[in-house]
Structure 1
Amino acid sequence: MIDRIHQDHKNIMLLLNALSDKVEFLKEDKKIDYQIVKSIMSYLKNYSDKYHHPMENLIYAHYLKYRVVPDEVANRLSQDHQELKTITKELDEMLGMILLDAIISKELFIEKLEQFVVKQKQHLTYEEEEIFPAIKSSLSPDDWLNLNQQWKHNEYVEPLFGDKISNEFKALADSLKLVKR
């Protein structure tokens, strides 16, 4: 499970770097493909909220059940996930408006997109450098067996970075130069 989360983080970082490139293009008054940005947001919104964060939350809840940690540490991960869900939804809605030709300030969009990328990267860094090392060092093989059993019914097919790319993400995969079909 933890290996899957680490791989997800690498994949998410690839998408965040692509969004950072879009921010720079916009700052340089270059055109971007907003549909690709929308696809990235769709992936992050759907995949992260439905599968990635619930897996992290399951592991973290198990960890907290048997370990004593300060309240601010105990609450931060779920608060971060909720905040990320909110800002993802807001940015996704703004993109939807742009794609419907609504007039949205380019500066406002750049600001929101940049804030989104920074917040996401901070969150991934926090998990990779603080949360998961603590979890890995304290959970036993039995803990992992228990967690795998609990998660088993939530298995899913990775729609972008998996063995087969879903139709929804083919254009995004092409833009990222992912070779799997």
Structure 2
Amino acid sequence: MSTLHTMPPLIATLRAEHVHLTRISGLMTEQLDAIESGGPVDSHVLYEIMGYMVGWADRHHHPREDLIYGRAAELDEQIADDVDSLQRQHDAMAKNALALQGLIGRWRAGNATGEEVVRAGRDYIANSNRHMQSEELLVFPRIEAVLTPADWQELELDDRLQATGDPVFGPRVDREFRNLARKLRRSARRTIERGVVAEWAGLESTLESLEILGNANRMALQATGDTLRCAVRESLEIVRATPLTAAPRCALNNVRLSGRWLGVIASIAGDTVNDLTRIRREMRRQMDTLDAL
């Protein structure tokens, strides 16, 4: 008889924090995109993001992961090397976060280029996302398999693993991160709005595309039927008029009619492609308009 798996609270907390960090990375990506495209950029929110990563993620989230990983490594030597690698990644991420925070500060002061910030920022986000994905897919399941309920109870009593108030996603937002929290709420709202608009625009485009394809199909069938009826009628007339030479004359006439039919079909296909392209451009324009809001 199978038993229902219950996720340990500490792992559930780490996973929830990963969701928060992913939202932070998404907002940072938006700002880096704006720098790259020459759009409006909130340089202060970029600095706040790195302040959050340095002051909370690297000082609270990663150390708690290290404690749990260390406990698992004590019980299973097979994952000890992986745990050591992850802990070294945490150290490297902390150094990179400090370096990026300093670079953003210099950029805000006019002593670094936007290209440098974009390049370093994208590298930082990519490394962070790869690290979290590895933890989510590989590390957490292995740790859950190694640690027993008694191990988890013991860990939960460790003062170093007690819940720490999140300065951005917690019940109260710290003053220094209010701009960041506001940007995150706005980004989340825009994502929801964009999803709704995209769904409606996609449905509208699909219906219009189906209508266009249906019309094209009817026109093509009509043209084909007209051509066949014309070929039969003219062939009968040729046979009645010149029965001895009817065969080659009918063949030549059919070639002529086929060429005309192909021209009509090509015209229908061209108009259909143009209409579908117009619909796709209109949908893209609607999404671009929403992104600009």
TM-score after normalising by structure 1? 0.92
Aligned runs of 1:34-49 on 2, under 5 Å? 34-49=43-58
CA distance in 1, matches of 2:184, 2:90: 25
Q: CA deviation at 1:152?
A: 5.5
Aligned-partner SS, 2:13: helix
Structure 1 residues 31 and 136, CA, compared in 2 at 3 Å: closer, same or farther?
same
Q: Are 1:177 and 2:185 counterparts?
A: yes
Aligned-partner SS, 1:14: helix
Structure 2 gaps of 5+ residues are 1-9, 189-293
Structure 1 residues 23 and 152, CA, compared in 2 at 3 Å: closer, same or farther?
closer
Whether the aligned pair in 1 keeps the contact of 2:73 and 2:79 (CA below 8 Å) is no
Deviations 1:92-132 (A, max 9, x none): 01112223x23212211111011011011011101111110
2:65 maps to what in 1? 56
Q: How many pairs align?
A: 178
1:98 maps to what in 2? 107
Deviations 1:127-181 (A, max 9, x none): 11111011112211110011111136754211110111111111111111179xx
Whether the aligned pair in 1 keeps the contact of 2:72 and 2:143 (CA below 8 Å) is yes
Paired residue for 1:126, among 116, 125, 134?
134
Q: CA deviation at 1:91?
A: 0.3
1:166 maps to what in 2? 174
Q: Are 1:26 and 2:35 counterparts?
A: yes
Q: Which amino acid aligns with 2:68?
A: I
Aligned-partner SS, 1:69: helix
Q: Which amino acid aligns with 1:33?
A: D
User: Aligned-residue CA RMSD in angstroms?
Assistant: 1.7
1:109 maps to what in 2? 117
Whether the aligned pair in 2 keeps the contact of 1:63 and 1:139 (CA below 8 Å) is yes
1:148 maps to what in 2? 156
Whether the aligned pair in 1 keeps the contact of 2:107 and 2:114 (CA below 8 Å) is no
Structure 1 stretches (4+) deviating beyond 4 angstroms? none
Structure 1 residues 110 and 102, CA, compared in 2 at 3 Å: closer, same or farther?
same
CA distance in 2, matches of 1:144, 1:68: 18
Aligned-partner SS, 1:17: helix
Structure 1 residues 134 and 4, CA, compared in 2 at 3 Å: closer, same or farther?
same
Q: CA deviation at 1:72?
A: 3.9
Q: Which amino acid aligns with 1:131?
A: V
Q: CA deviation at 1:32?
A: 0.8
CA distance in 2, matches of 1:164, 1:71: 38
Whether the aligned pair in 1 keeps the contact of 2:73 and 2:80 (CA below 8 Å) is no
Whether the aligned pair in 2 keeps the contact of 1:51 and 1:154 (CA below 8 Å) is no
CA distance in 2, matches of 1:173, 1:156: 18
* Percentage of matched positions with identical amino acids: 21
Whether the aligned pair in 2 keeps the contact of 1:98 and 1:104 (CA below 8 Å) is yes
Q: Which amino acid aligns with 1:29?
A: G
Whether the aligned pair in 1 keeps the contact of 2:155 and 2:161 (CA below 8 Å) is no
Deviations 1:60-99 (A, max 9, x none): 0000000022564132111110110011000001112223
1:84 maps to what in 2? 93
Q: Which amino acid aligns with 1:147?
A: L
If each structure's helix is expressed as a fraction of its own residues, which one has the higher value?
2
Paired residue for 1:138, among 124, 138, 146?
146
TM-score after normalising by structure 2? 0.58
RCO comparison, higher one (Cα < 8 Å, 6+):
1
Structure 1 gaps of 5+ residues are none
